[in-house]
Structure 1
Amino acid sequence: MSTTYNPPKVWTWDDENGGQWASINRPTSGARFERDLSKGEHALQLYSLATPNGQKVTILLEELLLAGVKEADYDAYAISISDSDQFSSGFVAVNPNSKIPALMDYSEDEPVRVFESGHILLYLAEKFGHFLPSNHAEKTEVLNWLFWLQGSAPYLGGGFGHFYAYAPEKFEYPINRFTMETKRQLDLLDKQLEGKTYIVGDEYTIADIAIWPWYGNVVLGLAYNAAEFLDVESYPNVMRWAKLIAKRPGVERGRIVNRTWGEEWEMLADRHSASDIDSVLAKVPK
């Protein structure tokens, strides 16, 4: 029996044919129901989930706080993607694209909404003057890699991650296609990190903060359960960098914010103060 797919003249939506997220994915945008977002006491209000894109922002915020930027304190509310929270009227007002993370900044004369994870990193780095060089050439190189990540991660997540870990069936062609691209990306990072401490040199920047939650989590075995399949040990510079970043206190703190799965010492659905994180990390097995 042939398994070849012959596309129809006009595509129609089949909500039963989409794998793990079929029940929430639709070919239309916009709010599906009315519900306001919660709002805490801080100027920065984050609505997110501890996926790689969500971790980018909470890691940066925790790094900023540890760097002494008190104005970076924030409230973070978990958005349950599986429950379609991202399609509430309140969330869509912050991000019309219905994707986490989404940020509201109430410190300006008029409230500012910021969406798309890479843009949130750039917005916060420029606002607070940290983790982004002031030198034009050095800043440009950081932004090269920030935008590289924004363009490359969908091949890792929506491509490799989906077909290897989440699709209802495993098919050789898409797995091979996206494995090849993922390994090409890992090889690129390995070469870029040769002789460097961080992605662009000796300085830790938003390029590292953007890339680590995707590629660091994968090579450390924290995403897709694919470290052996991808032969991650063959990328020694990426492994060294990933382990180095993972030990940073800001990363240890930021990666658990808005996390609603896993061990009790790595889950914090909502965050309103540093003590919220402290109380969770206190449960880490000794």
Structure 2
Amino acid sequence: MIELHYWPTPNGYKIRLLLEEAGLEYRIVPVDIGKGDQFKPDFLEISPNNKMPAIVDHAPGGGGSPLSLFESGAILLYLADKTGRFLPRSMRERHQALQWLFWQVAGLGPMAGQAGHFRVYAPEKVEYGIDRYTREVSRLYGVLDCQLQGRAFVAGDDYSIVDMAIYPWIVPYEAHGQSLAGFPALSRWFETVRARPATARVYEEPSTAYSSKQPLTDEARRILFGQGGPPG
């Protein structure tokens, strides 16, 4: 059994996509980031960076005591290695795939997150921030569109953890000030991933993620965007 410490954000969705695709048994432990659950001592024991998602694998590969992991990219890589699925096995193809996983965690995720913040959540409109991050996300969409030309999926012919990492950050494209109309390869890929049964299962529940465009309370904003500590 895998415990998934989770809230429905793009990074949370990544892990659920893999768990559903692989058919692994898991239990969701909600981490309500708008109420400060990410600062609770029991959560910090497994995720010292006070961010979700995190997992606790009670039957880790290789045996031994339960294994806890935080950081969505690291979790995806661990689960792919554990199951032997959704990541190429040859050294060359594996590293060619991993460069796109790191592209997502270091580029698309942070830039799209900032675009969403300045466009949706910031308490005041900062035009420089909106323009800066909206333009950068558009540039990254162009990079991804080029990569997908002539390929079924981002890392090649097979669906992989790379696609699972990227897709949740494309879902809220409108909130990030984007359109898929100018990116035909990206648009085709997006519809292909959306049509997968595991994707449908993950996204069938109502979302409380920022892409829902639901306004934040002042308290939730203070907790989410405070400068370094638990609510108090």
TM-score category (smaller protein): 0.7 to 0.9
Shift of 1:255: 3.2
CA distance in 1, matches of 2:73, 2:85: 15
Shift of 1:127: 0.5
Residue in structure 2 matching 1:246, options 194, 197, 201: 194
Structure 1: give runs of 5+ residues left out of the alignment.
1-42, 66-71, 263-286
Q: Deviations over 1:79-115 (max 9, x none)?
A: 1111101111110011011101010011131111111
**Residues 120-131 of structure 1: matches in 2 within 5 Å?**
120-131=75-86
Identify the residue that residue 80 of structure 1 maps to in structure 2. 32
TM-score (norm 1): 0.69
Identify the residue that residue 17 of structure 1 maps to in structure 2. none
Instruction: Give the 3 Å change call, closer, same or farther, for CA 117–218 of structure 1 in structure 2.
Output: same
Identify the residue that residue 46 of structure 1 maps to in structure 2. 4
Give secondary structure in 2 for the equivalent of 1:232: coil
Shift of 1:147: 0.6
Give secondary structure in 1 for the equivalent of 2:29: strand
Shift of 1:232: 2.6
Q: Deviations over 1:191-226 (max 9, x none)?
A: 0111111002211000000000002x034x4xx2x4
Shift of 1:141: 1.1
Identify the residue that residue 213 of structure 2 maps to in structure 1. none
Identify the residue that residue 155 of structure 1 maps to in structure 2. 111
1:218 matches 2:172? yes
Give secondary structure in 1 for the equivalent of 2:12: helix
Give secondary structure in 1 for the equivalent of 2:28: strand
1:64 matches 2:22? yes
Greater relative contact order, per chain length (Cα 8 Å cut-off, separation 6+): 2
CA distance in 2, matches of 1:232, 1:58: 24
Shift of 1:142: 1.0
1:50 touches 1:255 (CA, 8 Å); kept in 2?
no
Instruction: Give the 3 Å change call, closer, same or farther, for CA 254–231 of structure 1 in structure 2.
Output: closer
1:47 touches 1:76 (CA, 8 Å); kept in 2?
yes
Equivalent pairs counted in the alignment come to 206
2:9 touches 2:209 (CA, 8 Å); kept in 1?
no
Shift of 1:52: 0.3
Give secondary structure in 2 for the equivalent of 1:183: helix
CA distance in 2, matches of 1:256, 1:122: 25
CA distance in 1, matches of 2:209, 2:115: 22
1:78 touches 1:258 (CA, 8 Å); kept in 2?
no
* Deviation larger for 117-126 or 101-110: 101-110
Identify the residue that residue 219 of structure 2 maps to in structure 1. none
1:206 matches 2:173? no
Residue in structure 2 matching 1:141, options 90, 96, 104: 96
TM-score (norm 2): 0.84
The RMSD of aligned alpha carbons is: 1.7
1:176 matches 2:131? yes
CA distance in 2, matches of 1:91, 1:213: 23
Give secondary structure in 2 for the equivalent of 1:113: strand
**Moved >3 Å (runs of 4+):** 255-262
1:59 touches 1:254 (CA, 8 Å); kept in 2?
yes
Structure 2: give runs of 5+ residues left out of the alignment.
211-232
Give secondary structure in 1 for the equivalent of 2:181: helix
Shift of 1:254: 2.3
Shift of 1:234: 0.6
